[in-house]
């Protein structure tokens, strides 16, 4: 995103032009950014040559999945729906891992039928269920077991997953029992230890602690794991303050780990691949004077982008045209939905805005559309992808007639 002559541009297209042409609210993605993120990710970890399984939950638009597949990534899925869509995008079953605490028998059967790389199990009951289905089908099924390393990732509490009070994975004691159980089974092939400690992580220390726990657990298990799946969670710089995970240190720690354990690494990144590749373009419907602050009422709302309402997450807001007049009052950017949490930001010293101005909400590629809903019976927004000089509509705006 850059300003040229005070107009905000995305990959050479003026935001005002996009807003007028496709109407707002609209999601706009950059194919170039997706490519750059993937090349960067591969480059950072090239020494360990991991299998990169993109976390489909971050964004499951079919065209986006195809872009990602064209860069040879695999997929991490958490439901039969995501699995079907990853396959439809052309991602090879041998590059797909299935995570999640509540896979149903139908989902397990489907995954077994499709011969995916791994089903990462998260409980004893699930392993028993996988074994039962494998036995019925007379098939040997490749599994992983998810360890809960009891590591605090220091993220928003709502998105922490690696602490013992979280529902994910199994503790070390049970993990070791399940390793022994799986090794005795004729129908299970235990190939992987998986972990994922949380999301939007910007400090490498929790990862380092997690690797320590994984290392110890492998030693105690005396099992040779072919794969260690380290999950995702790498954070991005939402506040545009040059904050970033120290990838060099993380990658160095993993290299040392691989030397000791002689295994192939799997990653499941979502946000770090797709997060900063999209903006939500929105228009000011009304400027409403309030007590001590003005409400900037946008045509985008919490149903289009849920993260601020759900987690108090911050997303940078930029005007599509810069001016030099600064508002004396605080601006509160809100949507039209009938909830007080339908609020994107409260900002001081924003430039003066007027009705019908366009704005962009930045870094909405991950968990933007995938968390969107029809709350207040609002249709889901249009999604477009900029690809060089072309703009493709990758999801039409939902029609009201589909909802009514």
Which among 26-34, 227-235, 325-333, 343-351 is the span making contact with ligand LLP, rule CB under 6 A? 227-235
Pairwise CA distance, residues 94 & 289, whole Å:
57
In the complex, the smallest distance separating the C-beta of residue 229 from ligand LLP, rounded to whole angstroms, is 8
In the complex, the smallest distance separating the C-beta of residue 342 from ligand LLP, rounded to whole angstroms, is 16
Q: Are 361 and 27 in contact (CB under 8 A)?
A: no
Q: Is 307 in the site for ligand LLP (CB under 6 A)?
A: yes
Name the residue nearer to ligand LLP (CB basis): 238 or 350: 238
Tokens of 300: 């985008």
- Selected from 76, 107, 332, 363, the binder of ligand LLP by CB under 6 A is 76
Whose CA is closest to 60, among 216, 250, 274?
274
Local structure of residue 366 (DSSP, 8 states): S
Residues 367-396 that bind ligand LLP (CB under 6 A): 367
Pairwise CA distance, residues 384 & 136, whole Å:
45
Q: Are 315 and 275 in contact (CB under 8 A)?
A: no
Pairwise CA distance, residues 175 & 105, whole Å:
22
Which among 18-26, 230-238, 246-254, 320-328 is the span making contact with ligand LLP, rule CB under 6 A? 230-238
Q: Are 320 and 19 in contact (CB under 8 A)?
A: yes
In the complex, the smallest distance separating the C-beta of residue 198 from ligand LLP, rounded to whole angstroms, is 7
Name the residue nearer to ligand LLP (CB basis): 353 or 372: 372
Name the residue nearer to ligand LLP (CB basis): 19 or 235: 235
Q: Is 365 in the site for ligand LLP (CB under 6 A)?
A: no
Q: From the candidates 28, 192, 263, 338, which is the catalytic residue?
A: 338
Name the residue nearer to ligand LLP (CB basis): 271 or 395: 271
Cis before 25? omega within 30? yes
Residues 2-41 that bind ligand LLP (CB under 6 A): none
- Selected from 231, 319, 335, 379, the binder of ligand LLP by CB under 6 A is 231
Whose CA is closest to 249, among 264, 234, 231?
234
Name the residue nearer to ligand LLP (CB basis): 281 or 313: 313
Which among 32-40, 180-188, 263-271, 319-327 is the span making contact with ligand LLP, rule CB under 6 A? 263-271
Local structure of residue 170 (DSSP, 8 states): B
Pairwise CA distance, residues 225 & 223, whole Å:
6
Torsion of CA 196, 307, 382, 378, to 10 degrees: 130
Q: For 268-310, list the strands marked E by DSSP.
A: 278-289, 293-298
Pairwise CA distance, residues 55 & 85, whole Å:
12
Q: Is 67 in the site for ligand LLP (CB under 6 A)?
A: no
Q: Is 95 in the site for ligand LLP (CB under 6 A)?
A: no
Which residues have CB under 8 Å from 380's CB, separation 6+?
303, 304, 369, 372, 374, 395, 397, 398
Please work out, in degrees rounded to the nearest 5, the angle formed at the alpha carbon of residue 14 by the alpha carbons of 241 and 388: 90
Residue window 152-191: x/- pattern of binding to ligand LLP, with contact defined by CB under 6 A:
-------x-x------------------------------
Residues 194-223 that bind ligand LLP (CB under 6 A): 196, 199-200
Name the residue nearer to ligand LLP (CB basis): 58 or 96: 58
Residue where the block lists tokens 């289905």: 133
In the complex, the smallest distance separating the C-beta of residue 343 from ligand LLP, rounded to whole angstroms, is 16
Name the residue nearer to ligand LLP (CB basis): 24 or 99: 99
Tokens of 158: 């709502």
Handedness of CA 277, 25, 313, 77 (dihedral sign): negative
Active site residue 362: no
- What is the maximum span of the chain, computed from C-alpha positions, in angstroms? 72
Residue where the block lists tokens 């609209």: 26
- Selected from 366, 384, 385, 386, the binder of ligand LLP by CB under 6 A is 366
Q: Is 58 in the site for ligand LLP (CB under 6 A)?
A: yes
Name the residue nearer to ligand LLP (CB basis): 37 or 217: 37
Residues binding ligand LLP (CB under 6 A): 55, 58, 76, 99, 159, 161, 196, 199-200, 231-234, 268-272, 307, 366-367
Annotated catalytic residues are 338
């Amino acid at each position: 995103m850059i300003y040229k002559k005070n107009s905000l541009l995305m990959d050479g297209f003026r935001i005002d032009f996009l807003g007028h042409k496709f109407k707002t609210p609209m999601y706009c993605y950059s194919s170039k950014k997706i490519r750059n993120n993937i090349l960067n990710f591969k480059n950072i970890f090239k020494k360990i040559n991991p299998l990169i399984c993109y976390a489909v939950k971050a964004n499951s638009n079919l065209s986006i999945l195809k872009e990602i597949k064209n860069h040879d990534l695999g997929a991490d899925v958490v439901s039969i729906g995501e699995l079907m869509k990853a396959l439809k995008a052309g991602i090879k079953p041998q590059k797909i891992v299935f995570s999640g605490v509540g896979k149903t028998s139908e989902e397990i059967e489907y995954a077994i039928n499709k011969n995916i790389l791994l089903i990462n199990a998260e409980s004893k009951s699930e392993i028993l269920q996988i074994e039962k289905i494998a036995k019925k089908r007379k098939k040997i099924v490749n599994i992983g077991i998810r360890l809960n390393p009891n590591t605090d990732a220091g993220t928003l509490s709502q998105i922490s997953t690696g602490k013992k009070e979280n529902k994910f994975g199994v503790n070390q004691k049970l993990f070791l029992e399940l390793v022994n159980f799986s090794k005795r089974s004729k129908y299970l092939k235990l190939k992987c230890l998986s972990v994922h400690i949380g999301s939007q992580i910007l400090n490498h220390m929790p990862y380092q602690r997690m690797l320590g726990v994984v290392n110890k657990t492998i030693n105690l298990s005396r099992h040779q794991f072919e794969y260690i799946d380290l999950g995702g969670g790498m954070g991005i710089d939402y506040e545009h303050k040059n904050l970033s995970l120290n990838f060099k240190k993380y990658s160095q720690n993993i290299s040392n780990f691989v030397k000791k354990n002689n295994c192939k690494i799997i990653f499941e990144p979502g946000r770090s691949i797709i997060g900063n590749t999209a903006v939500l373009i929105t228009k000011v419907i009304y400027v409403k004077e309030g007590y001590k602050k003005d409400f900037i009422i946008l045509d985008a709302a919490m149903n289009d982008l849920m993260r601020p309402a759900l987690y108090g997450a911050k997303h940078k807001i930029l005007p599509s045209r810069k001016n030099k007049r600064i508002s004396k009052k605080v601006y509160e950017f809100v949507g039209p939905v009938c909830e007080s949490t339908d609020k994107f930001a409260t900002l001081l010293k924003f430039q003066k805005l007027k009705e019908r101005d366009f704005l962009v909400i930045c870094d909405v590629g991950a968990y933007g559309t995938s968390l969107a809903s029809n709350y207040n019976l609002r249709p889901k927004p249009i999604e477009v992808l900029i690809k060089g000089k072309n703009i493709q509509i990758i999801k039409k705006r939902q029609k009201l007639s589909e909802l009514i």
